[in-house]
Structure 1
């Protein structure tokens, strides 16, 4: 496994890979790897000859400086894991390598409408940071495939839109949310939960499943009643709700009678930790 910090060295390595006509799979991460990342990387090995995992804690996508400073840094541990599962290259640039003139002077990439609703409304500038770093990684690495989890559904949709509208010849492959046995989605944010909060956190997905079952069973016209019941149940458990509703899977608009495929999107606070989750519902 090769560890590469410099864009120039990675670019030269990519040239050699292209000469050998080998396909490249990219798994972008911020490190602090968990089982969700591992499953995504194992999936990538089914598609591509060479697997590149990027580890970069991207300051542009953080709204709060303390969140950036407190993000877990587990590079050595991550590298041991990546080597064990057969990753070929780890790209781990520093901030100056990615943003040589500073973030304020950085040319950025943004997907306008999708980046400013839902999570984007609650976290202004977050998705601009995500799409800018993803576009830079795509330009540097030129992968044939890139892999993302479905837990961050809005992010996934934004990246697919980015690829389509900027004419990248990259196939985006997604993986269903990977969960602990209790149903809680794997996330680096779970590390911030207290012992008591970890007992409560799985209730989010349990509630989402109940909502899904009720919507599937009942007429769509009663969705407002079902959603309100779910919100009350979550509040009683101690969650503070930012987002919890039914949306169109393609547009992320509030569900209408014209919507053919639905998704429940949830974004809540449990103590000081923000948790997101979702579940697709097919009509």
Structure 2
């Protein structure tokens, strides 16, 4: 089994050589497993952090209800060859308290999409990731592409703050019906789960429409969602860095929608052709 450490001092004693980090909030599933498998050959010591970070939850969100499955998580880490599980307390991560903590400002990119719906979310995410980078001191950190805006912001933070960490993104792992794996999927009822599969189907429809340009992508994806009775919080097409999408170039299609209790996120890359109306000019 991995060595479980709770404090910064224990962490320093348990790591050596090059270090890879997979930050998580626990409730590990096959998506996390793929991140661990990707990270394992990248460094001599593989660290997985398990910490449900309170600063990324708004008061009305599900902090207390967030699933905690620590013993099962340890078994999954063991199977993936993890060396160290860092499972700190809130007091270890925020020694001056949550109200007295210095927080990372995510900047303008943190105010759109998920940031518009959850104004304090990315401030909490970037703060805890910066703390984990400082505590673990990894050479490389591995994140999933499912939370694409989060991945983009963490990469930008690592570059802007000169943190010296190589931030690696891994493809989204999906269920057999295409639904992106998430710890919150367990909240879906059977009928909601069936309806939620339309989210990934909408992305596939958007990819298929890519050669016809941005407007066709959004129309095709939006129709699949509408046919399933899903009204998304957002369905947007952006550049890979979350700027404006450009016809004829690579883009990113992102969606967020609430199906029953959970709010589900997904995204995919879409190679864009020219707008259909401009073809042949």
TM-score (norm 2): 0.92
2:235 is aligned with 1:244:
yes
Which residues of 2 match residues 90-109 of structure 1 at below 5 A?
90-109=85-104
Shift of 1:229: 4.7
Shift of 1:215: 2.2
Superposed CA offset, 1:190-244 (max 9, x none): 011111111111111111111111122x2x2xx3354245324313313221110
Using the alignment, how far apart are the partners of 2:147 and 2:195 within structure 1? 21
Give the structure 2 partner of residue 4 of structure 1: 5
| Conserved? CA contact 1:4–1:10, under 8 Å | yes
| Conserved? CA contact 1:238–1:270, under 8 Å | no
Give the structure 1 partner of residue 132 of structure 2: 137
Q: List 4+ stretches of structure 1 deviating above 4 A.
A: none
| Conserved? CA contact 1:267–1:277, under 8 Å | yes
Q: 2:194 aligns with which of 191, 199, 202?
A: 199
Using the alignment, how far apart are the partners of 1:66 and 1:274 within structure 2? 11
Shift of 1:109: 1.1
Using the alignment, how far apart are the partners of 1:43 and 1:2 within structure 2? 20
Equivalent position SS for 1:135: helix
More displaced stretch, 5-14 vs 241-250: 5-14
Shift of 1:181: 1.5
2:263 is aligned with 1:282:
no
Shift of 1:6: 1.2
Using the alignment, how far apart are the partners of 1:136 and 1:164 within structure 2? 15
Using the alignment, how far apart are the partners of 2:267 and 2:217 within structure 1? 16
TM-score (norm 1): 0.91
Distance change (3 Å), C-alpha of 1:174 and 1:225: closer
Q: Which runs of 5+ in 2 are unaligned?
A: 273-281
Give the structure 2 partner of residue 178 of structure 1: 173
Give the structure 2 partner of residue 214 of structure 1: 209
Give the structure 2 partner of residue 267 of structure 1: 256
Give the structure 1 partner of residue 52 of structure 2: 57
* Number of aligned residues: 271
Equivalent position SS for 1:12: helix
Superposed CA offset, 1:14-62 (max 9, x none): 4xx1xxxx21000000000000000110110121111000000000001
Q: Which runs of 5+ in 1 are unaligned?
A: none
| Conserved? CA contact 2:143–2:151, under 8 Å | yes
| Conserved? CA contact 2:22–2:142, under 8 Å | yes
Which residues of 2 match residues 66-85 of structure 1 at below 5 A?
66-85=61-80
